[in-house]
Amino acid sequence: MHVARAPHAPAGARFVDPRVLSRIANLELLARTVVEGFVSGLHRSPHLGLSTDFAEHRPYLPGDDLRRLDWKLWGRTDRFYLKEFEADTNAAVSVLLDCSPSMRYASGPVSKLDYGRYLAASLLWFSQSQRDRVGLATFDRTILEFVPPSTRHLPNVLHALDRVEPGVQEARRAAPGPGMEAPLRECSEHLRRRGIVIVISDFYEAPLQVQHALGHLRRRGGDLIVFHLLDPAELAFPFGDAANFEDLETGERIPVVPSRAGDRYRERLGAHIGELRRLLGRDGIEYSVFDTSKPLDHALFTYLSNRQRLARVR
């Protein structure tokens, strides 16, 4: 089983521990803290940074990083211009966050849904700092809230993430619907302009169903990046005592003896992840798995690497 890592992620960003972040009540402060630490680490690393593929010049604006000024061009024109690179060119970046009941699960202080909220806020704050248009959709079996991509919508996005309430669909658990198929199809209809779409979920569905649901977004064009969140207990299955295990999506309880079921569970989870990676990779979808006890810089580094690679492909 492969869980995404950032082997070259800068040490300066390692403080972005979800257990520490859970103590920060203000989501805007949290996102700014995560992104500033991550970007600071990138600047200190000789191996990392934004894309080095030159795209264009643009006029200097107050507050821009002086290190990106083109001094040779200033010498010829007596005007200040910044170098823009492929990863810096404006894009529409939309995060689609799964808020279904299974995302409430937490074996520690941070649930999958909270980790997803922190990650969504940080990714969109980072994108806004690159002058991208940012948007958000939260969904369960339907779209719960939709904020269209805009350069002015970061406050709206953060407020929407603040309003996320796990378990709001509790009353409908007894009659599970079509999963993420319907909300992702609806999202694809709202996202009319091509851009970068990031789906954050625990993908509590069969791989073929996930592939079909994501196909609605893929057919719209643009770039599709998938972050698969799993709790450390879901990855390791460390349970020892026999107990009734509850399916958070349906409420069904199943008696389990961990000593007998553990190996089979881990084998089936590995097969599930492997099949998702195979199917989505075949469709050109960037897929990564993340342990929700790990620092967020792993996910930010993966996003930046994927974005640079997708820009080169285009």
Q: What is the pLDDT of residues 147-166, one digit of tens each?
A: 999 999 999 999 999 998 75
Residues 195 and 74 in one domain: no
Domain count of the fold of the chain: 2
Residues 140 and 238 in one domain: yes
Question: Is the confidence at residue 213, as pLDDT, over 80?
Answer: yes
Residue 227's CATH number? 3.40.50.410
Which two tokens mark 86? Answer: 């492929």
Is residue 15 domain-resident?
yes
Q: What is the model's pLDDT at position 12?
A: 41
Is residue 129 domain-resident?
yes
What tens digit of pLDDT does each residue of 14-31 get? 446 888 888 888 888 889
Cα(98)–Cα(115) distance, rounded to whole angstroms?
11
Last residue of a domain, one of 32, 65, 86: 86
Which two tokens mark 26? Answer: 């203000």
Residues 62 and 178 in one domain: no
Mean pLDDT comparison of 10-14, 58-62, 78-82, 257-261, highest-scoring range: 257-261
Question: Is the confidence at residue 170, as pLDDT, over 90?
Answer: no
Residues 175 and 238 in one domain: yes
Domain containing 307: what range?
Answer: 11-45+90-313
* pLDDT range class, residue 55, cuts 50, 70, 90: low
Residues 62 and 208 in one domain: no
Residue scoring higher pLDDT (36 or 112): 112
Nearest C-alpha neighbor of 202 from the set 112, 283, 128:
112
Query: What is the pLDDT averaged over residues 71-91?
Result: 72
Q: Give percent of the chain above pLDDT 90.
A: 51
Last residue of a domain, one of 63, 86, 109: 86
Counting Cβ atoms within 10 Å, is residue 253 exposed (0-12), middle (13-18) or buried (19+)? exposed
